[in-house]
Amino acid sequence: MKFAVIVFPGSNCDYDMVNALRDVLHATADLVPATATSLAGYDAVILPGGFSYGDYLRSGAIARFAPIMAAVKAVAATGKPVVGICNGFQVLTEAGLLPGALQANRTAKFICKTSPLRIANAETQFTSAYGTTTEIALPIAHGEGNYYCDEATLAELRANHQIVFEYVDNPNGSTANIAGVMNQAGNVLGMMPHPERAVEAILGSTDGLGIFQSMLTHEEVANA
């Protein structure tokens, strides 16, 4: 499985992601600049965390216009997996690939800590490797991680089982404790917690591995 890790000006978790994919999971991963216009040959796309374009307007609002985003949308339309983590999640909502929006934390302060999460849907291509595990803990690091959607959208998310992760102790005010959602097709995932920062014991946790292992297994089964 070949991953494209998109690098926007201001991305700062791109090498963390590549390390998780290449060195820990032994997958193929390339850094792809936001100025690129093609993602041909890649099986999955990941938008990492950081502060794309400095978050000067609104988190993810400028990145949505980067040249690479047309290719990201094209990849998503084919059904291939696309994952946005933290700032990447913000970019996906701004680009219309995921419902809802991310706004300032209710405390108006940057939050950096490990947060316990519930796996709200364990039957996705991003969570299947967790099996019967219902709770994990992943690092969060954001100032605008407060997920918002209106009541109608929330009802759709619940009806279609699109809520993938929920906070156990809501740190930022997110609607319905939402920490991660996917699109109706089930191939685009956005999440505020950082799984790439929890893939080795030396980092304090390996709880993030399941997301990437799930993706790799899904690809193997699909190509069997």
Residues known to be catalytic: 86, 194, 196
The residues, ordered by sequence, that sit 6+ positions from 159 with a Cβ below 8 Å of its Cβ are none
Tokens representing 8?
A: 């926007």
Q: Is 163 left (phi over 0), alpha (psi -120 to 50) or beta?
A: beta
Q: Is 10 left (phi over 0), alpha (psi -120 to 50) or beta?
A: left
Nearest Cα residue to 89 out of 212, 188, 217, 199: 188
Residue 97 in 3-state DSSP?
coil
Nearest Cα residue to 118 out of 172, 177, 158: 177
For residues 59 and 45, give the distance between their C-alpha atoms in angstroms, rounded to a whole number: 19
Give CA torsion, residues 56, 138, 106, 190, to 10 deg.
60
For residues 175 and 157, give the distance between their C-alpha atoms in angstroms, rounded to a whole number: 12
For residues 207 and 97, give the distance between their C-alpha atoms in angstroms, rounded to a whole number: 26
